[in-house]
A and B are shown apart, each in its own frame.
Chain A
Amino acid sequence: MTQDAASSPARNRFVKTSLVVRKEFAEQLAKAVFFLMSVAMVAPLLAIVAYLVWRAWPVLSWNFVVDVPRRGMTDGGIWPAFIGTLYLVGISLAVSAPTGVLAAVYLNEYAKENWLNRIVNLAVINLAGVPSIVHALFGLGAFVYAARFGYSILSASLTLAIMTLPVIIASTREALAAVPASFREACWNVGATRWQTIRAVVLPNSISGILTGVILQVSRAAGETAPIMFTGAVFFKAVEKGQLLPYRLDEQCMALSMHLYTVATQVPNVKESIPYATAVVLLGTVLAVNAAAIALRVWLRNHKKW
């Protein structure tokens, strides 16, 4: 037997030292804290949704969605705002999603690593962090006045597009960068051009990530008030109940986020449940879009050969 084996008898081997006991306690504590935090994240969210639905319940119905506001917005539904939001979000994404995705593809797949690329990168990252009120002012100056689109759906949508564009570029680049380099190498070495590589390998393997990034911007565009208030949303606009295409692009429109703000703070004697119901519809619309995106992703994954 060696010296130190003799000094610590065999039955004392591998037993917990006080240091290990303390570490195990820390381990348990960390686990508990992380669990609590994850519950703390989810619980309020569920509580908010439950509370909203409960408060909204008295007026919540299909009719509330398709009806127009009545009696100075103190009664009736939210159809013009609902459709207005669809207009704004739809047009803004129709502009920003293709632009953003294509720009990201260029930056990630074609652009050489040089000062121009670095500046564009820096710009994208910083623009993604600019507060929406600043975008609102920019939209006012650029689209309403300089481009002479006036206060209109067009101006408001373009402002939202400018706001969502950098985030879409950033998230798309991340999705593209997550495609393993070995897939690209495989392509190059059978003589694929860059575009063939992108088409055949890069996009099919990053489309989920790209969609996720774009869809997150749907919620953001639907929820923002400042950018559209400055450029094209109004408190009230007369529209027929359930009319599908009530607005022209050079007109102003109502929007859910703005309507919520109005009925909650600006109009006296509004039925209590109306702002809550408006919020529920806004939330429901965003959730529906997210759900559609998830379905699309699953479908794409199963039919990867797009």
Chain B
Amino acid sequence: MKTRAPAIETRDLSLWYGGFQALDGVSIVVKRGLITSLIGPSGCGKTTLLRCFNRVNERYGCVSTKGEIEVLGKNIYDHDVSLVELRKAVGMVFQRPNPLPLSVYENVVFGLRLHTPRIRLRRSTLDEAVEKALSEVGLFRELKDKLDFKATSLLLEQQQKLCLARLLPLKPEIILMDEPCSALDVDGTRAIEELMLGLREKYTIVIVTHNMAQARRVSDECIFMLLGEVVEHSRTADLFLAPQHHKTAEYIEGRYG
């Protein structure tokens, strides 16, 4: 078990939106079972990098990539990689909670419905999945009588947790979170952070954040990006206490960003 492949490894990854280069020679290793945060000023390519990990970038228009990405030891650009299976294993939560305009229940089982043949979908399986996923994100108690409510009518914090719960029935191994708290208030933010710390080890989590205090609170490792390049990647404590690069130091002191 010692030589398990890392959760994500990129080698010299570059990405272009048409003629605009958004990532430039990114080489990182994200370890399994840790929370890794991705910080950097807006527009430096954090979201773009995150979207590379389940190849969902390809759905955003004119994108070309160069370099290698291995997820759980498998090169995701190999020709036998199924995007469906990849995206089931690598799920994503967004900045604005994006529940689908369906009931809470249907949101949670949405993925299952997509990926299971209709005859194998039994009500009991679905019920079980809903209970399990909602319990895991700590929503089951509050929502168990509201399963047929519209998901869009929930509180933002609940919506965000629901978006996380929506990934879980597909048994993901890596969860990508793109500024998951920036639409939430203080309590919501705290709730999501606690949730992340609870899910840690079971899942590998990569979180993009604008909030450096948050990065310090929740993450084990931290990656600082600037203009599409990785400037520094080290343990969070080290990065904040003894940044190796002067750009990092300036950023965490709040000189720009």
User: What B residues does A112 contact at CB under 8 A?
Assistant: 61-62
Q: Is A201 an interface residue (CB 8 A)?
A: yes
User: A125 vs B113: C-alpha distance in the bound complex, in angstroms?
Assistant: 38
Q: Is A119 an interface residue (CB 8 A)?
A: no
Q: Is B110 an interface residue (CB 8 A)?
A: yes
User: A180 vs B99: C-alpha distance in the bound complex, in angstroms?
Assistant: 11
Min CB distance, A116 to chain B, in Å? Answer: 14
A168-220 residues with Cβ-Cβ distance < 8 A to B are 180, 182-193, 196, 200-201, 205
User: A185 vs B167: C-alpha distance in the bound complex, in angstroms?
Assistant: 13
Q: Are B100 and A191 in contact (CB-based, < 8 A)?
A: no
- Given the interface pairs A113-B61, A191-B84, the reply to whether A186 lies near B56 with Cβ below 8 Å is no
B94-112 residues with Cβ-Cβ distance < 8 A to A are 94, 96, 98-102, 106, 110-111
Out of A183, A185, A191, which one reaches B115, CB within 8 Å?
A: A191
Q: Are B62 and A190 in contact (CB-based, < 8 A)?
A: no
Chain B positions near chain A (C-beta within 8 angstroms): 54, 56, 59, 61-62, 83-88, 91-92, 94, 96, 98-102, 106, 110-111, 113-115, 163, 166-167, 170
Q: Are B101 and A182 in contact (CB-based, < 8 A)?
A: no
Residue of B nearest to A186 (CB): B98
Min CB distance, A51 to chain B, in Å? Answer: 44
Q: Are A189 and B91 in contact (CB-based, < 8 A)?
A: yes
Q: Is A304 an interface residue (CB 8 A)?
A: yes
Q: Are A183 and B87 in contact (CB-based, < 8 A)?
A: no
Q: Are B163 and A191 in contact (CB-based, < 8 A)?
A: no
A58-116 residues with Cβ-Cβ distance < 8 A to B are 112-113
Min CB distance, B159 to chain A, in Å? Answer: 11
User: A288 vs B54: C-alpha distance in the bound complex, in angstroms?
Assistant: 49
User: What B residues does A188 contact at CB under 8 A?
Assistant: 56, 59, 87
User: A184 vs B91: C-alpha distance in the bound complex, in angstroms?
Assistant: 14
Question: Top 8 closest A-B pairs, CB basis?
Answer: A191-B87, A190-B111, A182-B98, A189-B92, A191-B84, A191-B88, A186-B98, A188-B56
User: What A residues does B96 contact at CB under 8 A?
Assistant: 182
User: What A residues does B99 contact at CB under 8 A?
Assistant: 186
Residue of B nearest to A114 (CB): B62
Interface core residue of B91, B111, B166 (most chain A CB under 10 Å) = B111
A251-289 near B? 1/0 per residue, CB < 8 Å:
000000000000000000000000000000000000000
User: What A residues does B85 contact at CB under 8 A?
Assistant: 191
User: A73 vs B74: C-alpha distance in the bound complex, in angstroms?
Assistant: 79
- Given the interface pairs A191-B83, A191-B85, the reply to whether A186 lies near B163 with Cβ below 8 Å is yes
Residue of A nearest to B89 (CB): A191
User: What B residues does A305 contact at CB under 8 A?
Assistant: 102, 106
User: A191 vs B56: C-alpha distance in the bound complex, in angstroms?
Assistant: 9
User: A200 vs B100: C-alpha distance in the bound complex, in angstroms?
Assistant: 10
Number of interface residues of A (CB under 8 A): 21
User: What B residues does A196 contact at CB under 8 A?
Assistant: 114
User: What A residues does B92 contact at CB under 8 A?
Assistant: 185, 189
User: What A residues does B54 contact at CB under 8 A?
Assistant: 189
User: A305 vs B102: C-alpha distance in the bound complex, in angstroms?
Assistant: 8
Out of B87, B94, B102, which one reaches A190, CB within 8 Å?
A: B87
User: What B residues does A185 contact at CB under 8 A?
Assistant: 56, 92, 94, 98
User: A191 vs B115: C-alpha distance in the bound complex, in angstroms?
Assistant: 8
Q: Are B114 and A190 in contact (CB-based, < 8 A)?
A: yes
- Given the interface pairs A112-B62, A113-B62, A196-B114, the reply to whether A190 lies near B91 with Cβ below 8 Å is yes
Out of A190, A193, A205, which one reaches B166, CB within 8 Å?
A: A190
Out of B86, B91, B114, B167, which one reaches A192, CB within 8 Å?
A: B114
User: What A residues does B166 contact at CB under 8 A?
Assistant: 186, 190
User: A193 vs B115: C-alpha distance in the bound complex, in angstroms?
Assistant: 10
User: A191 vs B106: C-alpha distance in the bound complex, in angstroms?
Assistant: 16
User: What B residues does A205 contact at CB under 8 A?
Assistant: 101
User: What A residues does B87 contact at CB under 8 A?
Assistant: 188-191
User: What B residues does A304 contact at CB under 8 A?
Assistant: 101-102
User: A183 vs B98: C-alpha distance in the bound complex, in angstroms?
Assistant: 7
22 A-B contact pairs sorted by A residue (CB < 8 Å): A113-B61, A113-B62, A186-B110, A187-B114, A188-B59, A188-B87, A189-B54, A189-B91, A189-B167, A190-B91, A190-B114, A190-B166, A190-B167, A190-B170, A191-B85, A191-B114, A191-B115, A200-B110, A200-B114, A201-B100, A205-B101, A305-B106
Residue of A nearest to B87 (CB): A191
User: A189 vs B102: C-alpha distance in the bound complex, in angstroms?
Assistant: 17
Q: Are B111 and A191 in contact (CB-based, < 8 A)?
A: yes
User: What B residues does A113 contact at CB under 8 A?
Assistant: 61-62
User: What A residues does B111 contact at CB under 8 A?
Assistant: 190-191
- Given the interface pairs A185-B94, A188-B56, the reply to whether A193 lies near B84 with Cβ below 8 Å is yes
User: What B residues does A182 contact at CB under 8 A?
Assistant: 94, 96, 98
Residue of B nearest to A194 (CB): B59
Interface core residue of B84, B99, B100, B166 (most chain A CB under 10 Å) = B100
User: What B residues does A192 contact at CB under 8 A?
Assistant: 84, 114
